[in-house]
Amino acid sequence: NAGVTQTPKFQVLKTGQSMTLQCAQDMNHNSMYWYRQDPGMGLRLIYYSASEGTTDKGEVPNGYNVSRLNKREFSLRLESAAPSQTSVYFCASNTPGQGKDTQYFGPGTRLTVL
């Protein structure tokens, strides 16, 4: 049972480049989330997927797109990276409302945009 996994662990991009962050969970959770973590600002929600086939914007969606590929996988895409997107990105999953409200986090992707 790997829990929540993310790839890559580290990435350096130049301004304007694109990339996709991958996330997968093997806990059969319905909901998946992408957060970014910046110093002094806690975790902020970028996008979420309440269930397979649905996605919606969170608090800070600008500059990002997501795809819920299937129940296990939820990817985050940066189409044209900007220095303001330098951050640590965490994926999380849970099944809210069934006594499984706890969100489990992946190990994170540290992204630097030059």
Interface with another protein (CB under 8 A): 30-31, 33, 40-45, 48-51, 54, 56, 90, 94, 96-97, 101-108
Report the largest interatomic distance among the alpha carbons of the chain, rounded to a whole angstrom: 43
| For another protein, the closer CB: 15 or 51 | 51
CB of 94 to another protein, least distance (A): 6
CB of 77 to another protein, least distance (A): 20
Contact present, 68 and 54 (Cβ < 8 Å): yes
CA quadruple 53, 17, 12, 36: dihedral sign: negative
